[in-house]
Structure 1
Amino acid sequence: MLTSVAIGRRLAQRAIAWQAIAIAVTALAFLAKGGSWALAAGLGGAAIALGGWLSSVVALGGGVNPSAGALARLLAGVALKWVVVLAVLLLGVGQAGLPPVPMLAGVIVALFAQLLAMARPLARH
């Protein structure tokens, strides 16, 4: 029997796997423009994947609890995800001097891959 927490964990794992593939393809496409462009695309996508993983750890880490605790964990996970994403983007563009266009493209591709991964139903075992 799958609980909602187990289903959430499986969805998060599938989303991260799909994101990794999409990020790799995007970085390879930007490699034609230069190494810094490929690195920026990979870093932007990796920020989303890392933030999503941290969000799932926080949101799904407490097991089954009352609704107030579950909602608080969910909100904390989402907030942590976007703090990580913004920090990586700011460090990548501001400190490392990476181009912002491929970095944002990596973010968009990773978010789209997450959307596609979570839209498909999970196989029941």
Structure 2
Amino acid sequence: MHDPIATGRRAAMRAVAIQAVVTLLVALLALAAAGPRQGLAAAVGGIAMLVGNGLAAAVALGGGIQPAGAAFARLLLGTLGKWVVALVVVVVALGPLRLPPLPLLAGLAAGMLAYLLAVQMNTQRRQR
């Protein structure tokens, strides 16, 4: 039996795992190139997207098969949750923690890009 929800959930979790590896690499690169605060900032940015994308996948794909309106609402709620998590982490990192903004944004962008590319690669692989 073919379960498209389970397939989508596995694909999203695989993309999150790839995103975690890319986040680690960016954080290590920033650590080696600029120092511990920059490495921490890059890691925090990447982890913000990692947690946000994991939350979005869990919310969007966690309800099983539902009517179109409910599925679309879950998709929107997951996306909203992802960006709220990312925004809160960025505000805390730049405010009270006073982490450098450029590595933070680099980690955030690398995490987002890695997730999008992993999802795209998985989609292309399934279409073959």
- Partner of 1:4 in structure 2? 4
- Partner of 1:69 in structure 2? 70
- Partner of 1:25 in structure 2? 25
- Partner of 1:35 in structure 2? 36
- Partner of 1:49 in structure 2? 50
Offset, 1:26? 0.5
CA 1:72 to 1:98, structure 2 compared with 1: closer, same or farther past 3 Å? same
Of stretches 82-91 and 107-116 in structure 1, the one that deviates more from structure 2 is 107-116
Provide structure 2 residue ranges, at least 5 long, that are not aligned to the other structure: none
2:6 aligned partner, one-letter code: A
SS in 1 for 2:34: coil
Identity %: 45
Conserved 8 A contact 2:19-2:111: yes
Post-superposition CA distance 1:75-110 (Å, at most 9, x none): 000000000000000000111000010000001111
1:51 aligned partner, one-letter code: G
Offset, 1:70? 0.5
Instruction: Say which structure is richer in helix.
Output: 2
- Partner of 2:87 in structure 1? 86
Q: TM-score, normalised by structure 1?
A: 0.93
Q: TM-score, normalised by structure 2?
A: 0.91
Write out the 4+ residue segments of structure 1 that deviate beyond 4 Å after TM superposition: none
